[in-house]
Amino acid sequence: MRRQVLLFFSMLSLSPVLGQVSYSIPEEMSKGSLVGNIAQDLGLDLKRLKTGKARLHVGNTAEYIELNKEKGVLLIKEKIDREALCKQTTPCALHFQMILENPIEFYRVTVEITDINDNAPMFKMNNVLFEISESAVKGAKFVLQKAIDYDVGINGLKSYSLNPTNNFVLKLNDNAGGENEVEMVLEKPLDREKQEQLTLTLTAVDGGEPQLSGTVQIHVTVLDANDNAPVFTQSTYKASLMENSPKGTSLMTVTATDRDQGTNGLVTYSISSNTDDIMDLFDIHGTSGEVRLIGKIDYETSKYYQLHVKARDQGGLTDSCKIIFDIVDVNDNNPVIDLMSTTQSVPEDATFQTVVAVMNVHDADSDVNGVVKCFLSDNAPFIIENTSNGFYSIRTNSDLDRERASEYNITVTCSDEGVPSLSSSVTLTLQISDVNDNAPVFERSSYEAYIIENNTPGLSIFTVKARDADWNQNARVSYILEDSSVNGVPVSSYVSVSADSGVIHAVRSFDYEQIKDFRFRVKAQDGGSPPLISNVSMKIMIQDQNDNPPQVLYPVQAGGSLVAEMVPRSADVGYLVTKVVAVDVDSGQNAWLSYKLQKATDRALFEVGLQNGEIRTIRQVTDKDAVKQRLTVIVEDNGQPSRSATVIVNVAVADSFPEVLSEFTDFTHDKEYNDNLTFYLVLALAVVSFLFITCLVVIISVKIYRWRQSRILYHSNLPVIPYYPPRYSDTLGTGTLQHVYNYEVCRTTDSRKSDCKFGRAGSQNVLIMDPSSTGTMQRIQSEKSILDEPDSPLEVSLLEYHKLLHSTSYGSNCFPP
């Protein structure tokens, strides 16, 4: 057994075909026999065979050869019978490809199957009968059945021998087709009377080693004289036959004539052939010689057919002729698309000209009927290229974008150039895998949200939403609060954002009076690697809530001290007594204030301006009006629900200070008693006990006390101005209460009364009494805002002044303001 290896490489530019290797092996090799070391012959590493998932692609044919990737060799998978594989075709070869992936490469492999002498010549029939007239002349020819040897070349049929050769000799004639016609030639006339039956042995011998042979018995019956054999009008007939012609088609009629008469001149026709295919395809009428088609003709199976027709008369004389049918190709085969390798998915950032599929296309027709062109039917970013004879590759032709198209159904259509043209198509499904190339995008460029103050911590304020055009993990968006500060405080102490949902929650309760709005930024980050980020600006605006009651700025309500507004008895209707000044730190309608007189000593004497808080007289003051007037004013805002504050305004109706001094002395001791009488009884007992103990101390120190008070009185002044909040602006445009009140106080040594002279400096007078103070009335001049020092007293003690009038012995004095 001899194995030949022929190796050559063909480098093709822009083609995945990297080489070709050919082997020659004899048929009938046992399973597992070595064909060749393809890895060594192609110069491939065994590791490349494994990583590249090397495999053999044989198309639609049986797999006779297998690849051992561990050793890089080709082995016999199934025993090969050359005669079953190729019949009489030479040379006989197996054609297949070895394909590697990552990257895609393939090599052409050709394995030629050489013949061995494993088939002996054989005859279709074991016995052949001849009836020969005794009048047959010397040289009469009798066509014998040819032997069949499925081997080819030197192993094929070589020669014939005939035994015995007393009457006949064997003659071989070469016909136009190069085949040998076996004829038995009468060498010596027959004599029926001597020998009616002859038995001859025809032996066929091939040229193989060892030599094989086959035999057939020829039985000759000698008939009575028939001295004329049939003769065909032509020795060779030729005709063209379209493939796929319908069964029953009459092809031609052959004619043989016999000059004999009677039954000896009757000729019958028959087809003699050494292959079953001819008998299955053609038939001849026995008496007319009409040849008809009884099978299906396929140009791709055989391009011509040769028939041997025998004409025989009743005397056994025969003649033969040959009919050759040339088959005309018809475009009856669609192109066959064989997908050799395909890619299931490709990333969207794949480089230009990336190979996604390799295929082989062939058409069994010939000439223009077998010329195939392939194209892609849809407008996809791919092109198809003919890399070599019959091999095509599909490549990317432009950038891929999964967000534009996540899947492509690539339809490849291949059509031949026959008339009419035939085509085949195949559809490949290619998935585009995602790459993180899209950042999250917010629905808006910026957001604004509102929240009412005094909210509950953890309250959901707003939801930001960003979308990512990518897929799966690359499209999973997380929300992050960007680091920043609001008024020096980290924004994370104000709000938080849910990483998954983008819901913004309030971390604290907001106060509109402290902060009205603030800004921050929210980042949206996808789950890709590396992640892509976008951000958006968010503005939170705090809405005011009516959560602050009005605050009365004037008159000032101080514990233990009383403020009295003086109204002369000569005051006319509409006299401005004072103005209640209040503010509300809320905003909008929550800060709109209205003033109402809740209760008064005499409601018919005073009224309060609803909008400005001015207290004015509504009638003429009379002598019957009480000196001591107490007004309760309620200040109410416009919120829902509304909030309010009350202020008590004490008004003294008098023309002079001494006139109301005793009233104010009692006035300073007025109290609002509690209903709990027990409390006041206990308090009275405690005060009496305290006065009894301290009385002795007071008597001893009175002289020293008087002397000190006299000096203080000499250098002191009376309070002459009312208190107004600085920087106060009347919202109705009436201006601030910029009034200055001056008082002149005169003292006498022998009188228990004093006179107060009022200066003309406005429309109201203020007396402020503080029972706890020591000393005379003093002028309080303060340049600091009372809002800055809310606890600083602006008070004059009338009680101490009253004591001073009874204890001093000075002469009549007048103290300028």
What's the pLDDT tens digit per position in 599-645? 988 888 899 999 999 999 999 888 888 888 899 999 999 888 889 99
Residue 685 makes CB contacts below 8 A (sequence gap 6+) with none
Residue type, 409: N
Q: Backbone phi, then psi, for 757, in 5-degree steps?
A: -105, 125
Cis check for the bond before 164: say yes or no (omega within 30 of 0): yes
DSSP string computed for 649-681: EEEEE-SSTGGGHHHHHHHHT-----S-HHHHH
> Bridge-partner residues for 449, per DSSP?
540
Residue 514 makes CB contacts below 8 A (sequence gap 6+) with none
Which stretches of the chain drop beneath a pLDDT of 50?
1-15, 667-675, 716-817
pLDDT of residue 664: 57
Q: Within 10 Å of residue 199's Cβ, how many Cβ atoms? A: 10
**Which pairing describes strands 318-328 and 236-242: parallel, antiparallel, or unpaired?**
parallel
Tell me how far apart the alpha carbons of residues 497 and 479 are, in angstroms, rounded to a whole number.
Answer: 7
pLDDT of residue 500: 92
Q: At what angle do helices 798-807 and 677-714 cross, to 10 degrees?
A: 60
pLDDT of residue 728: 37
**Which pairing describes strands 17-26 and 105-114: parallel, antiparallel, or unpaired?**
parallel
Element (H, E) at 700: helix 677-714
**Which tokens is 208 given?**
């193989």
Q: Per this entry, what is the length of the chain?
A: 817
Query: Phi-psi category of 733—alpha, beta or left, where left has phi over 0 and alpha has psi -120 to 50?
Result: left
pLDDT digits (tens, 9 = 90+) for 13-35: 334 557 889 999 998 899 989 99
- Cβ–Cβ under 8 Å, residues 606 and 597: yes
Q: Which pairs from 466-469 meet CB under 8 Å and 24+ separation?
A: 466/440, 466/441, 466/442, 466/502, 466/524, 466/534, 466/536, 467/440, 467/441, 467/443, 468/438, 468/439, 468/440, 468/441, 468/526, 468/532, 469/403, 469/438, 469/441
Tell me how far apart the alpha carbons of residues 201 and 596 are, in angstroms, rounded to a whole number.
Answer: 152
pLDDT of residue 218: 92
pLDDT of residue 412: 93
DSSP string computed for 477-514: EEEEEPP-EETTEEGGGTEEE-TTT-EEEESS---TTT
- Cβ–Cβ under 8 Å, residues 797 and 777: yes
Task: List b or e across 579-589, with b for residues whose CB sees 16 or more CB atoms inside 10 angstroms.
Answer: bbbbbbebeee
Instruction: Tell me if residue 26 falls in helix, strand or coil.
Output: strand
**Which tokens is 257 given?**
């004539």
Tell me how far apart the alpha carbons of residues 136 and 138 are, in angstroms, rounded to a whole number.
Answer: 7
